[in-house]
Amino acid sequence: MNPALPVLNISAYLFTELKDTEALRAACHAQASQLGLKGTILIAEEGINLFLAGPPQAVHDFVRWLHLDPRLTAIAPKESWSAVQPFRKLLVKVKNEIIRMNHPAIQPQTGRAPSVDAATLKRWLDVGHDDQGRPVVMLDTRNAFEVDEGSFEAALDWRIDKFSDFPAAADQHLDPLRDKTVVSFCTGGIRCEKAAIYLREKGLQEVFQLEGGILKYFEEVGNTHYRGNCFVFDERRGVNPDLSPLTP
């Protein structure tokens, strides 16, 4: 821990079947409140999505508590640091989706799309093709204003205003992707996971999600093939490739 950046920020999600959403909401709120954490936790029958910040011991204690639930043991937070608390309060909500796509047939909790890790993706981008020699296309699944802060070099950007616009945008751009290896990506992995499933259901065979999104890529390989910063939805506004905040 950098003494100048004493606040630990985590983002994490997991698609998993959760039937007791209201009970889990109450338990998460009580535990996070007791530990003095702030941020947002979204819970739906398809899984959990969270952004939390606080003293590192408290954050780690909360994650260990989550892991006590057998349905949540696979949740793997991505970490970054800031000088001050970037959230003003704690919100824990039950939603219809943990990331809104408005496409009920897409159910990652019943089966994920294939993923590619950061090191493998960097290797593909270094040489310009995947291990089968197919050209690699990077597909940014984030909102246009997020893309404007930074993205992978030459990434496709369909200028969507919200993630629920993704299916309609994809339907208009499928044909040029059919002979390519497509890697969908987003901030932490949640949107590109749903996006990859949608593209596969539309008939694209070689579609992968970037495991852990941009934040995990920064953590593991830095900013090679990436330009700019990564927008985040809190008072930091964004993080640099070394995961330091734009607004400390």
Quote the crossing angle between the two packed helices 213-221 and 118-127, to the nearest 10°: 80
- Name residue 80's beta-bridge partners: 9
> Would you give the distance in Å from CA 135 to the centre of its chain?
24
Read off φ and ψ for residue 183, nearest 5 degrees.
-115, 110
- The answer to whether the CB of 65 falls within 8 A of the CB of 157 is no
Query: Is 186 in the active site?
Result: yes
Tokens of 202: 């539309």
Q: At which residue do the structure tokens 């208009």 appear?
A: 172
C-alpha pair distances (Å), 128 with each of 123, 137, 154, 177:
8, 9, 12, 16
Burial of 126 by CB count in 10 Å (0-12 exposed, 13-18 middle, 19+ buried)? exposed
Work out the angle at residue 193's Cα, subtended by the Cα atoms of residues 199 and 67, and round it to the nearest 5 degrees: 155
> Which of the following is catalytic: 28, 186, 192, 230?
186
Long-range residue pairs from 65-70, CB within 8 A, at least 24 positions apart, any chain: 65/31, 66/28, 69/24
Q: Closest Cα to residue 197, out of 182, 180, 215?
A: 182
Measured at the alpha carbon of residue 190, what is the angle toward residues 59 and 216, in degrees to the nearest 5? 60
Length of the chain as a residue count? 248
Structure tokens at 122: 């960097």
Question: Which are the catalytic amino acids?
Answer: 186
